[in-house]
Structure 1
C-alpha cells in the first residue's frame, strides 16, 4: 500500500509539474491532493499499523505529537482539494463566462487549505502525550478533564467537529456541485450538427468530471467505516465495553487499513480514466 501510494502520487506530481501543458487549475489541486496522500502514507501508515498491532509506542513524544497531528491535516487537505476541484469544475461548466482562478490565486487557495488544516489538527498536537505503563509505552491524546455534566465535553465536541468539517460537509458540497454539473453535461445527447471542437470539449469535460466523481466516491467509502467506528466509541454509554467485543481488534485494523488505503487509489484512477 505504501509503495503504491508514495510512488504513484509522486509520479502524478512529476507529470503535472514537469510538463507545462499540464499546469491547469484542476491539476494544481491534484498536486496538492497527491502531496497530502503521499506524505500521510510515508509518515503515518506503517507506524500507525505497527502501533495498532503491537500496542506499544517506540518513537518518542515528538513523533507521537506528529503522528496524531499530521493525519488530520493531511486528510483535511485531501478532501478540501477535492472540494476546490468540484467548485472549480462547477464554475467552469455552469458559469463559463466568469473569470477563472489564476495560478497565483490557486496557490493562495492551496495555502489557505493548509493553514485551516493545520489549525484544525492543532489540538491533536497540543494534547498528545506518552506514558510508561507496566511493560510498554503508549502514545495517546490527554484531553482536558470532563467536569460539566450539562455540556458535551471537549473531546466529543472536537471529534464531532472533525467528522463534520473534514467528511460530511465537504462531501455534501461536492455532491451538490457534481449533481448540478452532471445534470448539465449529461442532460442530453451531443447534437449531430455540433462542431468537432465542441464535441471534443464536451467529451473532455465529461471525462474529468467522471474521474473526480470516482475519486470522491472512493474516498467516501474508504473513510466511512473509520468515522462510524470512532463516533460509536465516542458516544457509546460504556466505551470500554466496545473493547471487550470478540474480534474488535481485527475489526479496528480492517477499518484502519481501509482508511489508510485511500491514499493509493487515486493514481490508479487517474491512469484508467485520464489519458493525459
Structure 2
C-alpha cells in the first residue's frame, strides 16, 4: 500500500518491497483507501488542535503551575504526538490519494526518516514518563533531582529516536517499476537477502514496541505491587493515600500515576493489533493475498488514534487544562456576542475580565492546596 512508508514502522502490506507475487499490478485508490483518507483527515484535525492546546497550556497557560519536573514530560509527549500528526497523517493521506510517489528521491528518504523518528519518539517518551512515575512512587526521596533527571532522559529519548530512524535515509528511495509508468518510494533492492529485511523489521519492532512495553510493564507492576502492599499494611482497612506519612502516597501523586497508566494503556491498545499484523506479514508475506484490504487500513488508523487519546486523557485528569479551554471558549462566545449584539468593546472586555477573574479564583483555590503540586 502506498501509505506504508517504512518496512519497520509500517509493516502491513507494502507491495513495492519485492515480496509481492507476480504478475505485478499497480495499486489503485480503492474505496477502503478513501475511507482511510477520510478517517485520517478527521484524526489530523482533532489531534492537531488538542495537542497544540496541551502544549500551549503547559508552556504559557495554567498548566505552567504543574510540578516543574512534569512540565517537560507533558510538553514532550504533546510534541511527539504533533510530529506524528503533522508528518505521518498528512503524508499517509496524500500518498493514498496519489497511489504512487511523485515527490522525488530526496523527499522519499526524508519523509520515511521522519515517520520512523516520530513513532520512536512517541514510544520512548512514554518510557521516560513511566520511569519518572517509578522513581516518584518507589523512591520519593529522590524527587529533588527529578527535574534534571527527566531532562536527561528526554534528551536520550530524542537522540535515540534520531539515531534509530537514520537508516531509513539509506534504505528507502524512489524506484520506477519495469515496463510501467509507475514510481514508488520503497526499500526494494536495499537488502541482498530476505532474512536481512526481516531482521531489520524485527529490530525496529523491538525498539518501537517490545522494549517500551517491557519497561512500562516493569515500572507499573512495581508501582502497583508497592501500593497493594501499603494498602494491606494500613489499619482499619483505610487506603494509604493520605496527605502525610512516611510510607504513604500523596493524593496528587496518585492522580498523576492514574493518568500515566491510562496514557500507556491507550498506547498498548491502539498499536498492538497493528504490530501483530506486521509480524505475521514479515514471516509470511503471502498473507497479504488472504487478508482483506480494509483490515490493514483500519489497524493503521486505529494506531494513529493514540495521538488523539493522549490530550483527552490529560484533559480529563488536569483541572488547569480544562480551565484554559474554558477561558478560550468564553472568549470566543464574547466575540460572537459582540458581533451579534453590536456591544461596545469596553463592555465585552469588562465581561471577559469578570469571567477570567472568576476562573482565576477557582484555580487559586485549587492551587492553594499545599499538596497539589506534589506529583
Q: Which residue of 2 aligns with 1:243?
A: 288
Return the offset for 1:61: 2.2
Answer whether contact 1:143 1:155 (CA < 8 A) is retained: no
Task: Tell me how large the CA RMSD over aligned residues is.
Answer: 2.6
**Is contact 1:56–1:137 with CA below 8 Å preserved after alignment?**
yes
Match of 2:213 in 1: 171
Q: How much has 1:201 moved relative to structure 2?
A: 6.3
Aligned residues between the structures:
268
Judge which range, 157-166 or 99-108, deviates more. Answer: 99-108
Alpha-carbon offset, residue 119 of structure 1:
1.0
Structure 1 gaps of 5+ residues are none
Q: Identify the match of residue 231 of structure 2 among 182, 188, 191.
A: 188
Quote the offset at 1:54 in angstroms. Answer: 4.7
| CA distance in structure 1 between the partners assigned to 2:89 and 2:202 by the alignment | 23
Asked whether the 8 Å contact 2:273–2:299 carries over to 1, the reply is yes
CA deviation string 1:119-163 (max 9, x = no partner): 11111221111123323321112353334xxxx732111111111
Q: Quick one: which of 23, 40, 48 aligns to 2:84?
A: 40
Q: For residues 40 and 193 of structure 1, do their structure 2 counterparts lie closer, same or farther at Cα, with a shift above 3 Å needed?
A: closer
Q: In structure 2, the residue corresponding to 1:153 is in which secondary structure? A: helix
Q: Answer yes or no: is the 8 Å Cα contact 2:243–2:251 preserved in 1.
A: no
Give the whole-Å Cα distance in 1 for the aligned partners of 2:274 and 2:96. 14
Distance in 2, Cα, partners of 1:34 & 1:97: 28
C-alpha distance in 2 between matches for 1:194 and 1:250: 48
Correspondent of 2:186 among 110, 132, 140: 140
Q: Is the 8 A contact 1:16 1:23 kept in 2?
A: no
- Following TM superposition, by how much is the alpha carbon of 1:22 offset from its aligned partner in structure 2, in angstroms? 2.5
- Other-structure match for 2:195: 153
Structure 1 residues 196 and 121, CA gap change in structure 2 (3 angstroms): closer
Structure 1 position 253 matched with structure 2 position 301:
no
Shift in Å, 1:86: 1.2
Task: Indicate which of 195, 198, 202 corresponds to 2:250.
Answer: 202
- Say if 2:276 is the partner of 1:228: yes
CA offset at residue 53 of structure 1?
A: 5.4
- List structure 1 segments (4+ residues) > 6 angstroms apart after TM superposition: 189-196
| Residues 198/112 of structure 1: CA separation in 2 closer, same or farther (3 Å cut) | same
Distance 1:60 1:177, change over 3 A: same
Say which is worse superposed, 13-22 or 34-43, in terms of deviation.
Answer: 13-22
The 5 A counterparts of 1:80-159 are 80-98=124-142, 100-101=144-145, 103-133=147-177, 134-142=180-188, 144-147=190-193, 153-159=195-201
Greater Rg over alpha carbons, structure:
2
Query: Normalising by structure 1, what TM-score?
Result: 0.86
TM-aligned CA distance change 1:144 to 1:27, over 3 Å: same
**1:31 and 2:75 matched:** yes
Q: Compute the displacement of 1:252 (Å).
A: 1.1
Residue 51 (structure 1) aligned with residue 87 (structure 2): no
Please report how far the alpha carbon of residue 85 of structure 1 lies from its aligned counterpart in structure 2 after TM superposition: 1.4
2:57 corresponds in structure 1 to 15
> 1:194 and 1:14, CA in 2 relative to 1: closer, same or farther beyond 3 A?
same
Relative distance call for 1:215 and 1:195 in structure 2 (3 A) is: closer
Gaps (5+ residues) in structure 2?
1-42, 321-375
Which 10-residue stretch deviates more, 32-41 or 183-192?
Answer: 183-192
The 1:266/1:111 distance shift into structure 2, 3 A limit, reads: same
